[in-house]
Chain A
Amino acid sequence: MIENAYQLIVYVLTLLGVYEWIYGIFQSFGIDYVLQIIIVFVEIVILFAFVLVTVMFLTWMERKVVAMVQSRYGPMVTGPRGLLQPVMDGVKLIGKEDIIPAKADRWIFTLAPFIVFIPALLVFIPLPFGKSLIISDLRVGLLYIIAISAMSPVALLLAGWASNNKYSLMGAMRAVAQDISYTIPLALTAIAVVMFTGSLSTVDIVNAQGGTWFGIIPKWFIFIQPLGFILFLIASIAEMGRIPFDFQESESELVAGFFTEYSGMKFAMFFLAEYAHLFAVSGIIVTLFLGGWEGPALPFIPVQLTSLVIFLIKTYAVIFFAMWLRDTVPRVRIDQLLNLGWKIMVPLAVLNLLLTGFIVVAGVI
């Protein structure tokens, strides 16, 4: 039974008939653990490359979706239908002067973009992209995801503080207030899902959503937890900092929020982290509520491939929703957002938890 990406790589190598041979070489030197490290390294490189390509694609997709809503074309010049636009953007940003303001805290200012990028990538480790397509099925996968996500405000605060700019500072303060008040409903609704599965492992959560009721309705948690899904979606969008909750960078008020002073590649890091986060959060929503990679299996095609495609389709649907929302609604005010978080979302999340408790104890589902 293949459980994660490591075993998958070993399996593929075995199928190709080279695994025994490579393993033999390493074993003859008595360093077979090096092979393990290399394979882990390879899978991480594959994951990060995949995430980065996805992020670049997402920046293109965002612009295309905005353009669609606003009856424009969007990028059309670079590559077919402007598909290479993100590459050109990257080239341009690398060529930009890297400005560090004179009064800024140089070290933290330089460090912050990297700190913001790391949690955005680490979140993907326990995220199942498909059947057995997971780096590591942590037993506390969900907790890990929430904990890692909670790291990002630290980086934003560092960036805002180190810039020594009033707009940056206010943006950073808003980001922290927002993240703290929305991580709580986020975690509370995630717990409601865990109450059904009895496990924090993301793979167990997806497996629990396999099968159908009456042969038609898939057993996704969105149907058992509609309130939880809505709360989780709103809290996720708030945590991602996208319109209607993008106070950290609300450009009409705070110029660009915490990354006002950043330019060139450091700016690009924030930008990439934002989209990596969007992808990660959409993936988490799919995993928790939309059945993850569960879906119809096709004959003759490896289940890993079909499940990956199903997962990506669902994830992109969520991403499209977030982009659509961004083009349709204005931004709420920061105090309105905090009111919504503490006075409505948290009580509703607790209520949802209570109802879930009743249902689980009654054993209805």
Chain B
Amino acid sequence: METEELLLNMGPVHPSTHGVLRFKLRMDGEIIKECNIVMGYLHRGTEKLGEMKTYLQFTPYTDRLDYISAFPNNYAYAKAIEELAGIEVPLRAEYIRVLTMELNRIINHLVFMGSLLMDLGAATMIMWGFREREKALQLFEMLCGARMTFNYIKPGGVRDDLPDGFIPKLNEFLKDMEKRIDDYEQLINENEIFLMRMKNIGVISAQEAINYGLTGPALRGSGVSYDIRKLEPYSIYPDLDFKVCVQSEGDSFARYMVRVDEMRESLHILRQVVDTMPEAKIVAQAKYGIAPMTGMPSAVSTYFPRIFAPPAGEVYSRIEAPKGELGFYIVSDGTTKPYRVKIRSPSFCNLTAIPRMVVGLKIPDLIAAFGTIDVVLGDVDR
């Protein structure tokens, strides 16, 4: 029988492309022969905007990179500037930063689980995930008034101290979450259909994963123990007890399991942070050394000078964001605005491995593999 190949344009408007992403697929019936990724539908010129804004003005833009987990974005940018300008950060501020970032890691993985199961056709998990996420978002709201775009972690510290009643509510969340993760595992991990869809699908070997520049859970799912929190310890991570979650299979299920384990590890980290939180209520460093303070009174906080100029130089600073390695490369020419801001976003680099994973598989496998890479298009297109 004469057949012909089908060119299928999946996206940019499609239910499971997690935003505006386009797959150009060359198909033989249901089988994917070739997969091209077309990105850039959400390009906002964030890096260029970085050159136009003063150092502090750019922080809110980092919220909008990976809007599911904005705290790590804030932190990565703040960390880069701190390294550039040599700013000391009070210990309590570091604790609060780690607290927010690990909380953010949990809700990022909740959204991941929800949207993955949604892509596989089980709509319940996303509702359950969002139910718990809501509690974390309420904590964030207590902390900084915002639920998704926080603008909270600033160079030199954090914007405000923890509000009253935050820690008890957090403890409640931690206790609740422990049980919930068991629930999820019961709902999902023991489901034969889920295993059928995830095992041996979208396999990528450790070497290939490294070659493609995969980071984060996507890389750890291939058996590479690569976690910047351990390799290049930053903040208070050296003092904390946690392990790097690794699975060796390299398939979709391994990537999924890494994230489930990471949620447990994050809970473990959070409990340690709560227990060892320093009492001193200093959450930001007022002195920037060379900072030319402007006379303008700050509406946000008295701790930060609105405008300051770090010494000329460049810095590349990276952290382990929930989705992978998030790096900021900042070049300063000694003025109040960066000369160049380059963002190494985890979603962008991880996404490029998709064609390698899915060629020869079927459309449903593409959806599953894509779901386990866990990208946010705001992070891909910047």
Interfacial residues, chain A to chain B (CB-CB below 8 A): 66, 69-72, 166, 170, 243-244, 246, 250-255, 327-336
Contacts and interface: CB of A to CB of B under 8 A. Distances in A.
Contacts of B6: 166
Contact of A332 (B117, B124, B131, B197): B197
Most chain B beta carbons < 10 A, residue from A71, A252, A254, A328: A252
Interface stretch (B232-240, B280-288, B360-368): B360-368
B191 A70 contact: no
A252 B362 contact: no
A70 B16 contact: no
Contact of A70 (B123, B194, B196, B364): B123
A70 B124 contact: yes
Contact of A330 (B8, B121, B363): B121
A168 B372 CA distance: 26
B16 A252 contact: yes
A79 B151 CA distance: 44
A246 B196 contact: no
A251 B367 CA distance: 11
Given A66-B123, A252-B15, 19 more contacts: A66-B124, A70-B123, A70-B124, A70-B128, A71-B131, A72-B127, A243-B121, A253-B364, A328-B124, A328-B187, A329-B191, A329-B193, A330-B120, A330-B193, A331-B121, A333-B196, A334-B364, A335-B30, A336-B196
Nearest to A67: B127
B367 A332 contact: no
Given A70-B124, A329-B122, A334-B30, A255 B193 contact: no
Contact of A252 (B120, B193, B365): B120
B261 interface: no
6 contacts: A70-B123, A72-B127, A170-B30, A250-B364, A330-B122, A331-B364
Interface residues of B, number: 28
A250 B124 contact: no
Taking chain B's interface residues, is the majority helix, strand, or loop, or is none over half, making it mixed?
A: helix
B121 A327 contact: no
B119 interface: yes
Nearest to B365: A333
B230 interface: no
Interface string B267-307: 00000000000000000000000000000000000000000
Contact of A333 (B118, B124, B187, B362): B362
A251 B15 CA distance: 7
Contacts of A70: 123-124, 127-128
Interface in B115-139: 117-124, 127-128, 131
Nearest to A340: B196
Nearest to A174: B30
Contacts of B124: 66, 69-70, 327-328
A66 B123 CA distance: 9
A252 B127 contact: no
A232 B364 CA distance: 26
Nearest to A327: B124
B331 to A, nearest CB: 42
Contacts of A244: 121, 193
Given A69-B124, A328-B187, A252 B30 contact: no
Contacts of B118: 252
B17 to A, nearest CB: 10
B14 interface: yes
The 4 closest A-B pairs by CB, nearest first: A331-B121, A70-B127, A330-B120, A252-B16
Contacts of B131: 71
A335 B362 contact: yes
Given A244-B121, A250-B121, A252-B16, A332 B128 contact: no
A192 B304 CA distance: 80
B134 to A, nearest CB: 11
A330 B117 contact: yes
Contacts of B117: 330
Contact of B127 (A71, A246, A255): A71
A252 B121 contact: yes
Contacts of B127: 70-72
A252 B128 CA distance: 19
A333 B193 CA distance: 9
A292 to B, nearest CB: 31
Contacts of B196: 332-333, 336
Contact of A331 (B30, B193, B365): B193
Contact of B367 (A170, A253, A329): A253
B205 to A, nearest CB: 23
A66 B127 CA distance: 10
Contacts of A254: 363
A251 B123 CA distance: 11
A335 B361 CA distance: 11
Contacts of A334: 30, 362, 364
A253 B30 CA distance: 11
Interface string B176-205: 000000000001000101101100000000
Among B117, B191, B362, B364, the one with the most A-chain Cβ atoms within 10 Å of its Cβ is: B364
Contacts of A251: 15, 121
Contacts of A250: 121, 364
A328 B121 CA distance: 10
